Amino acid sequence: MRRKQWWLFALTLGTIILVGIILTDALPYFRGPAPETSAWYWPYQLRPLQRWWAPIGAAWLMLLAAGWWLRTQRGGWVTVTAVLLLIITSLLLQLGLVYAHKPAVFPELIDRTLSHLASGFFQTAVEIDDLRAVLRSYPAAMPGFTSEHARTHPPGLVLTNWLTIQLFDRLPGLSALIAPSVWAARCTDLWLLNRPASVAAALATWALLPILMAALTIWPAYLLARQLLSISAAKVTAVLTATLPSLLLFAPKSVQLFAPGTILILWAFHLALVKWSKRWFLFAGFLFSLATFFSLGYFAFALLLWAYALLMIWQQKSWQTIGWSHIIGHGALFGLGGLSIWLSYWLVWSVPPWQIWQTGLSQHYELVTSHRRYDWWLIWNLVDLMVYAGLPLLIGYLAGVVDAFKNGRSPHLTPINKLALTLFAFVLFLNLSGSARGEVGRIWLFFMPLLALVAADFWDHKFPGWKTAVLLIALQLSLTVSLGLAWQPVRAVIVIAAEPTMPTSQSPDSRLNVAFIEPGLRPATITLQGTTIAFDKAALDVTLFWQSNRPAKRPFTVFVQLLDKHGQIITQQDNWPVNGQWPPTCWTPNQPVIDTYQLSLPPDLPPGPFTLITGLYDAHTNTRLATTTGSDFIQLQSIQFP
């Protein structure tokens, strides 16, 4: 067996072993240094076998799309089609992995977006009454935010979530169209149900936007690779990026937004160095400033950019061609662009940027870093990086670093060699600094696509041919799918509505078929199909048989009242249907809802006559629903007690 074949055989065997370890949890220490303890770890939760078809099927579609593109030699529309197919299959794979965890995909995405532990930016934005006041005192406001993520981040994510809500406020028709599906997903959540439709529409947007941005990362990754690599290596870069486990497993977290941002920053910065253009340096700095306004972690990325620039200047001997004054001047333009958002914020809101930086970093240390051992994570950060970048990708990257060190002795250091060396130093700095202790599969996602560039260059140069590339993609996908099926990278810790058990064979004694009509666009028609009524001297038992054509927009309360001949209430019971567990916002179309009530009767009850009525009202506004005849209640029965 030739040396190259041994390489591929060892890589394949190693990946298969790693997949087996992940699926069986044979070595729990891959999930963290102290699994099942208070120290950070990735929980093990093997998903039911009957749900595996979705991520496996999506992975096969991605593999077929990648194989077709890698095999063809044509460009133009073929490239556009291939990238589009990779984007679509990335979306399918992300959704398939969510489905494997929970078949109700959209409600799960909504729950993850609302969860304080999984995200927390959206709820923080919703609860801001006066944005101007918050922005004027943001450092003081940060420790008071409910979500730990909001407490450690600059204003960018909270601000964009808030602006999304304001946008939908100005689009009431679109909000009304989107909101019902969100309300149905959180059908017992009064925090959400009692807010305007614009909040629900914005929540849906932020539940889907990170997934879309993760898939779209493939396109800028390919464009950057075309600047640095051959066409074939650029293709490998795109497909390796598409199969990054970290990019696919954390849906729908905000970190998925950062990966394309990193690529765009490096793309603009590289062009600035090649062209020595003032506009490109300023533009690259602006992109960097925008990124830091969303995450303070990007400030560390400046070290990589400056190291990359120094290597470019050293190799090209730029000081001899354009002079030190121009080099310093262009660097200053990048610095100006890099501070532009922060300087604008300081100018408008009178908040010095360093106050936000200091508060965010101190909050991160207090909430996370101080509770995790430095020595443990010095090793396990690298284990996490290997798992969430993918073994084939990381092996290719490390081999690329070795090649870069070898080429460093010659004047022929390529841009990708420079990137390999600066990335290597960057990862070492992040790890040794102890700023990240655990979760780096998520936290370091923002620069992982850059590893794919170096890995693609190595694999394409040392192992040319589409068959090897397809093997690499298959191995990456097998690792991604196994992680999604066995580990739990995202935990939506939030109260979830559970459908109560209702009898299925019970039928009403009397038929009514009276409908209540919900106000507004696309109203729900809630029909009382019939009743079963029984009573004695102590209690009145009422069973209502409901059905609706769609989930209601409001969690209406049912009232059942016994009235005397003067219309005065003798006894009553008000609650959400099914003992307060299943309001009409949770009902699926044409689902029978069997709803029981027991009204206690006073011991001195006169003989009667009495009238039993029922209806629905919105407890938030105390407004009753009307029937098709305009009445706000239904008379069920006249009762004469013995």
Q: What are phi and psi of 591, to 5 degrees?
A: -80, 125
Cβ-based neighbours of 354, under 8 Å, separated by 6 or more: none
Highest mean pLDDT among 143-147, 290-294, 509-513: 290-294
Q: What is the CB neighbour count within 10 angstroms for residue 1?
A: 7
Look at residue 164 and tell me whether its pLDDT is greater than 60.
Answer: yes
Stretch among 101-105, 246-250, 417-421, 439-443 having the lowest mean pLDDT: 439-443
3-state SS string over 187-201? CCCHHHHCCCHHHHH
Q: What is the CB neighbour count within 10 angstroms for residue 578?
A: 20
CA pair distance 201, 178, nearest whole angstrom: 5
The sign of the CA dihedral 345, 347, 348, 349 is positive
As a whole number, mean pLDDT of residues 620-636 equals 94
CA pair distance 625, 631, nearest whole angstrom: 8
| Percent of the chain whose pLDDT exceeds 70 | 98
What's the confidence (pLDDT) of residue 495?
Answer: 67
Look at residue 364 and tell me whether its pLDDT is greater than 70.
Answer: yes
Classify strands 557-563 and 510-517 as parallel, antiparallel or unpaired: unpaired
Per-residue confidence band for 329, with pLDDT thresholds at 50, 70 and 90:
confident
pLDDT, the chain, mean? 92
Per-residue confidence band for 294, with pLDDT thresholds at 50, 70 and 90:
very high
13-35 residue pLDDT tens: 999 999 999 999 999 989 988 88
303-320 residue pLDDT tens: 999 999 988 887 776 556
- DSSP element (H, E) containing 532: strand 525-535
83-102 residue pLDDT tens: 999 999 999 999 999 999 99
Integer angstrom CA distances of residue 527 from 138, 402, 516, 562, 585: 50, 71, 6, 21, 14
Q: How would you classify residue 360: left for phi > 0, otherwise alpha for psi between -120 and 50, otherwise beta?
A: alpha
449-499 residue pLDDT tens: 999 999 999 999 989 989 999 999 999 999 999 999 999 998 876 667 778
Which CATH topology does 510-639 take?
Answer: Immunoglobulin-like (2.60.40)
> How far out from the chain centre does Cα 603 lie?
57
> How far out from the chain centre does Cα 524 lie?
30
CATH 2.60.40 occupies which residues in the chain? 510-639
The label of the residue with tokens 């062009």 reads 271
For residues 461 and 365, the answer to whether their CB atoms sit within 8 Å is no
